[in-house]
Homo-oligomer: A and B are copies of this chain.
């Protein structure tokens, strides 16, 4: 079976997914939609697919699954529409910036019984997958402490910042998901500190650019996250996990690994300069996993619930940073926590 795709949104991340879908032998990119016609036409030409409107894709019998890469504020509505139409859905994070809206959206998806996968690409990075595999094999014993460092090479435009929902919902959300994923236990409390060290304009836009977070679980595990919108040496993405028997870590990646030695010392080149080159392989594996779920009609992971919980953690972190106190995640998720299921852990 070949899974036939419609792509909603032909922007930067849309192109990444178009390439992943096209390169996958089990998939075919049938159509692309974008409000900006030239973007759709260009992508359609590059990948040999049609241009259709979102409405047409919704009604297309020759499309099994959609990848949603439109602006965030359209995600929840599109998920609901395409879920009701019986299409499998891969949606870029976040589902929505508002936790309540995500809850109501997921209820619709639950009702339709369709496949929904949320785009936390890092879970599919080969190096992080290898870290997870080491944990799952029991090589480091029971997981106890996780340390995540995630620093962007540079801040996005302030215009983007304003629509992003803030650093916790836009950037740290990936680290929240990874922390949950690696700890293997739900987060209980969030202590976050956030400040403006990189760019005053970000502060004037009501956001932060430098973040430190402690996450804790009911059994006493903890995770720390360190974020910055600046890293002169490239896209800094490190994870280390400590367990009762040892530790496992994933180092940074660079495009070329050479070393020049001279009187100044030993110098290796900077890291990847962007998430798209750093996570090329992760995006390919992510779509491949989605295709497997569609083909086998099994639930996709990370699920809509994973998306919801990561967003709730972002909201808890924002509350913690602005109210200067430790925040219980249950303050945000309310009655939701009991629905959480950790499959296969």
Closest residue of B by beta carbon distance from A211 = B222
CA distance A212 to B144 in the complex (A): 12
Q: Indicate if the CB atoms of A145 and B212 lie closer than 8 Å.
A: yes
Would you give the 0/1 interface string for A139-165, flagging 1 where the beta carbon is closer than 8 Å to chain B?
Answer: 110001101010100000000000000
CA distance A131 to B259 in the complex (A): 8
Query: Does chain B have a CB within 8 A of A195?
Result: yes
Q: List residues of A (79-107) whose CB comes within 8 Å of B's CBs.
A: none
One of A111-119, A267-275, A286-294, A302-310 at the interface: A267-275
Query: Does chain B have a CB within 8 A of A230?
Result: yes
Q: Indicate if the CB atoms of A195 and B210 lie closer than 8 Å.
A: no
Contact among B131, B193, B232, B258 for A134, CB-based, below 8 A:
B258
Q: Indicate if the CB atoms of B140 and A262 lie closer than 8 Å.
A: yes
Q: Indicate if the CB atoms of A255 and B221 lie closer than 8 Å.
A: no
What chain B residues lie within 8 Å of A129 (beta carbons)?
256
Given contacts A233-B261, A256-B126, contact A195 B212 (CB under 8 A): no
CA distance A37 to B149 in the complex (A): 51
CA distance A212 to B190 in the complex (A): 12
Q: Indicate if the CB atoms of A248 and B259 lie closer than 8 Å.
A: yes
What chain B residues lie within 8 Å of A149 (beta carbons)?
147
Q: Indicate if the CB atoms of B127 and A257 lie closer than 8 Å.
A: yes
One of A27-35, A54-62, A239-247, A333-341 at the interface: A239-247
CA distance A324 to B249 in the complex (A): 29
Q: Indicate if the CB atoms of B233 and A263 lie closer than 8 Å.
A: yes
Rounded to whole Å, the gap between the CB of A222 and the closest CB of chain B is 5
- Residues of A in contact, count (CB < 8 Å): 66
Q: Indicate if the CB atoms of B212 and A224 lie closer than 8 Å.
A: yes
CA distance A186 to B251 in the complex (A): 32
Q: List residues of A (185-242) whose CB comes within 8 Å of B's CBs.
A: 189, 191, 193, 195-198, 210, 212-214, 216, 220-224, 226, 228, 230-233, 242
Q: Indicate if the CB atoms of A210 and B230 lie closer than 8 Å.
A: no
Query: Does chain B have a CB within 8 A of A264?
Result: yes
Rounded to whole Å, the gap between the CB of A194 and the closest CB of chain B is 9
Rounded to whole Å, the gap between the CB of A237 and the closest CB of chain B is 12
Rounded to whole Å, the gap between the CB of A321 and the closest CB of chain B is 10
Query: Does chain B have a CB within 8 A of A49?
Result: no
Q: Indicate if the CB atoms of A195 and B224 lie closer than 8 Å.
A: no
CA distance A266 to B325 in the complex (A): 37
Query: Does chain B have a CB within 8 A of A260?
Result: yes
Would you give the 0/1 interface string for A20-54, flagging 1 where the beta carbon is closer than 8 Å to chain B?
Answer: 00010000000000000000000000000000000
What chain B residues lie within 8 Å of A223 (beta carbons)?
212
Given contacts A248-B258, A326-B325, contact A214 B191 (CB under 8 A): yes
CA distance A250 to B258 in the complex (A): 4
Q: Indicate if the CB atoms of B191 and A220 lie closer than 8 Å.
A: no
Q: Indicate if the CB atoms of B256 and A130 lie closer than 8 Å.
A: yes
What chain B residues lie within 8 Å of A72 (beta carbons)?
none
Q: Indicate if the CB atoms of B220 and A195 lie closer than 8 Å.
A: yes
* Residue of A248, A262, A263, A264 most packed against chain B (CB within 10 A): A262
Sample (9) of A-B pairs whose CB atoms are under 8 Å apart: A147-B147, A189-B324, A195-B222, A197-B220, A214-B224, A251-B259, A263-B270, A265-B269, A266-B267
For the complex of A and B, the 3 pairs showing the least CB-CB separation, nearest first, are A246-B262, A195-B220, A233-B261
